[in-house]
Structure 1
Amino acid sequence: MQTFTERALRIIKQIPPGKIMTYGQVAAAAGSPRGARQVTRILHSMSAKHSLPWHRIVNAKGQIVLRNEEARFFQRKTLQEEGVEIDKDDRIDLLKFRFHPIAEEEKIDCFKNPL
């Protein structure tokens, strides 16, 4: 059985360029709907070690919330380079850019289970 951290790392790594997830969404997908702060800690402490696309994680309102100006600029710039539209208040349209990961049990091997 995987730990919350292992599941969260796997989910974060799945987020493709041009898509985003919220802290709470990652936490819920990893099995802890109230674990958004844990996701923040994982991103802070493990992004470099695991090459996580940390810039693709935003708050529940779809907003970039980093306090560090350099990190905030990097996140905004990198997301825009990936095609994510960000308004003047650093908000992203969640309906348009949110990524919905597929749980492992939902994946279908089309060779073993043809439709």
Structure 2
Amino acid sequence: MAAVQAIGPGQVRSYAQVAAAAGLPGRARQVARVLAGSEGRLPWHRVVRADGRIAFAPGSAQAAEQAAALQAEGVVVVNGRVARAWRPAPALDAWLWQQPDRPPV
């Protein structure tokens, strides 16, 4: 999935942002299913919930793995949540409509 591969090291996107970038607005759960089946071929660790939380259960091995992978890229993760400076933009659609000539960040 090119939308996930386009997320650079040290960056995060929400499932909804990835879905919108892939031309599938409103399909965040589909993104989660694709990532779950990617068997590590995609940088899945760069995709988090819209509020910055890691989607795995707190304290789970998967949550620890995702937090460690993000921290290795310089992303600050505190208590299973990406620090505010790294969180995805909350209103991607509004941002896109206001600036049609710029790609999403």
TM range (shorter): 0.7 to 0.9
Q: Shift of the alpha carbon at 1:96? A: 3.5
CA drift at 1:86? 1.1
CA root-mean-square deviation: 2.4
Q: 2:54 aligns with which of 46, 64, 68?
A: 64
CA distance in 1, matches of 2:102, 2:10: 23
How many matched pairs? 92
Name the % identity: 37
Q: CA deviation at 1:17?
A: 1.0
Q: In structure 1, what is the Cα distance between the partners aligned to 2:3 and 2:29?
A: 16
Greater gyration radius = 1
1:64 partner letter: I
**TM-score, with normalisation over the residues of structure 2?**
0.75
Give the aligned partner of residue 39 of structure 1: 31
Residues 30-85 of structure 1 show CA distances to partners (whole Å, capped at 9, x for unaligned) of 1121100000110011243xx10001100010110213811111100110111001
Task: For 1:4-83, list aligned pairs within 5 A.
Answer: 9-48=1-40, 51-67=41-57, 69-83=60-74
Gaps of 5+ in 2: 93-100
Which protein has the bigger strand share? 2
The alignment's TM-score, normalised by the length of structure 1, stands at 0.69
- Extract unaligned runs of 5+ from structure 1: 1-8, 108-115
